[in-house]
Amino acid sequence: MKTHRLSADRLRAPTLSAIALGIALLAGCASGPEKDVTAGWSPNKLYAEAMDERAAGNYDKAIQYFEKLEGRAAGTPLAQQAQLEKAYAHYKNGEQAQAIATLDRFIKLHPASPALDYALYLKGLVNFNDNLGLFGFISQQDLSERDQKAAKDSFEAFKELTERFPDSRYAPDARQRMTYIVNSLAQSEVHVARYYYRRGAYVAAINRAQAALKDYQNVPAIEEALYILMKSYEALDMPDQARDARRVLEANFPASPFLTQGFRRDSGPWWKLW
């Protein structure tokens, strides 16, 4: 019978590896917990350092500092400020859920804060810019083509701001964004109506176009909603209803290109029209 002998090197390799691992573990234990470099900092210094880190784009570090400041300055205006600054850092770091949670906590804990208008504005802004931004020029996808929950949440925050603090410095911008959101939500209905129409689901197209007409007024999307309504009635051989839809379209949009060109395939994102 043949026996197999392992070389000395092969026998030593696992042993050396084990020793190296043991040394590494011992070194880790000896090092202990990481030292808190902020331990001797005053609240003002901690705030200043946190703001510097955020300005430099080091959002994770800034958030850590703001959290420490919340604890050390608890019960003071500086702690409230730290909470708002932390929410903004989360927002800039692309952490929407954490930003909203921080703002909701602030609004609940500090209902009489002089910064409440800013908290509501930032909450609206976080949802408004959810993975897109104001115009979405990179993806060429406008807000109306995406899930509308964030848009509705954004609208509610801006609405509360403008109703409770009409003279706030943030109110004018909030009102503009509310207009954009309303237009977006109306256009969302029209996107769906157009989808159904092009697939021959004319009854469904009528329902969605009518929903846009019922829920939204004086928005750009209404023009196309009326056109879809007219064409869907024509496709269903309902001439009286089609004439009514056309009459309303001509009365409200006498120069509508839909009447002469049909659907505009290359008109670009709808928000560029206003």
Instruction: State the DSSP code for 267.
Output: S
**Residue 233 contacts residue 245 (beta carbons within 8 Å):** yes
Ordered domains of the chain (ranges, CATH): 42-111 (1.25.40.10), 187-273 (1.25.40.10)
Provide the mean pLDDT of the chain.
83
Instruction: State the DSSP code for 35.
Output: P
pLDDT in tens, 225-268: 999 999 999 999 999 999 999 999 999 999 999 988 887 644 44
Q: 3-class secondary structure for 84-104?
A: HHHHHHHHHCCCHHHHHHHHH
**Residue 178 contacts residue 159 (beta carbons within 8 Å):** yes
Q: 118 is written with which tokens?
A: 């800013």
Q: Which amino acid appears at position 127 of this protein? A: N
User: Which pLDDT value is given to residue 263?
Assistant: 79
What end-to-end distance do the CA atoms of the chain give, in Å? Answer: 91
**Is residue 65 scored above 80 in pLDDT?**
yes
User: Which pLDDT value is given to residue 188?
Assistant: 87
Tell me what the mean pLDDT of segment 181-185 comes to: 89
33-42, 103-112, 192-201: which has the minimum mean pLDDT?
Answer: 33-42
- Comparing CA positions, the residue from 75, 152, 168 lying closest to residue 119 is 168
User: Which pLDDT value is given to residue 150?
Assistant: 86
Residue whose structure tokens are 């300005």: 55
**Is residue 163 scored above 60 in pLDDT?**
yes
pLDDT in tens, 19-58: 455 545 555 554 556 687 888 899 999 999 999 999 999 9
